[in-house]
């Protein structure tokens, strides 16, 4: 007979985020190998100046982006039930926005006249349960840190994500060999054993 804890299944509904970093920079999603997403670009973003302690709009960024206005960031969708994800770019095949960017780059001499701006084609894929659980946590951390905005679905709680099947990966997306354990829960024991055996 299964316990109540075993019978209770946590369901996290599909949701998607748009990358919207405080400094207009790209954002790396560690849980998907090679995944770097472009942030929304906003000319009037405030950046903290450590010398003065004030939040300021960088002059070079403001001048460079002022004629472009705001541009949307790339979006990441996850369906935890199907262990699937999709990456989309609002610029893809958006002739109006891409034309605006091309004219801006042309005016700055930053692109050849015959080059075409088209955005990034959609990409989709599937993950295992461990990768999916780790990706969901990474996405809500991006929301919590102000690096992304929720665009579709309901933001899951950390406890909802903790309840998903699978385990959190220690080094998600890593494609090289390492002697470290695969799962976060095994890391402390691994470190302790290193000390015992002089590692």
Q: What are the phi and psi torsion angles at 44 (to 5°)?
A: -110, 30
**Domain ranges, ordered by start, for the chain:** 9-166, 169-199
Percent of the chain with pLDDT over 90: 50
CA distance 146 to 27: 12
Q: What is the pLDDT of residues 18-30, one digit of tens each?
A: 999 988 889 999 9
What average pLDDT does the structure give for the chain? 84
Question: Which letter, b or e, does each residue of 114-138 get, where b requires 16 or more Cβ atoms within 10 Å of its Cβ?
Answer: eeebebeeeeeeebeebbbbbbbbb
Q: What is the pLDDT of residues 113-170, one digit of tens each?
A: 667 788 999 999 999 999 999 999 999 999 999 999 999 999 999 999 999 999 999 9
CA distance 63 to 56: 14
Q: In this predicted structure, what is the pLDDT of residue 48?
A: 61
Prediction pTM value: 0.82
């Amino acid at each position: 007979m299964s316990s109540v804890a075993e019978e209770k299944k946590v369901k996290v509904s599909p949701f998607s985020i748009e990358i919207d970093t405080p400094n207009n920079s790209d954002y790396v999603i560690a849980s998907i190998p090679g995944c770097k997403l472009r942030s929304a670009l906003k000319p009037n973003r405030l950046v903290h100046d450590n010398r003065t302690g004030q939040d300021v709009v960088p002059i070079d960024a403001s001048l460079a982006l002022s004629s472009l206005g705001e541009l949307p960031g790339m979006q990441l969708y996850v369906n935890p039930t199907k262990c699937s994800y999709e990456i989309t770019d609002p610029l893809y095949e958006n002739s109006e926005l891409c034309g605006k960017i091309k004219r801006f780059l042309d005016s700055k001499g930053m692109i050849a006249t015959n080059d075409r701006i088209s955005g990034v084609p959609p990409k989709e894929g599937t993950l295992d349960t461990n990768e999916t659980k780790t990706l969901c946590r990474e996405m809500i951390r991006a929301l919590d840190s102000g690096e992304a905005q929720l665009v579709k679905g309901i933001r899951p709680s950390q406890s909802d994500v903790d309840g998903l099947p699978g385990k959190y990966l220690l080094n998600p997306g890593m494609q090289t060999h390492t002697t470290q354990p695969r799962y976060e829960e095994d890391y402390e024991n691994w470190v302790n054993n290193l000390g015992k055996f002089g590692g």
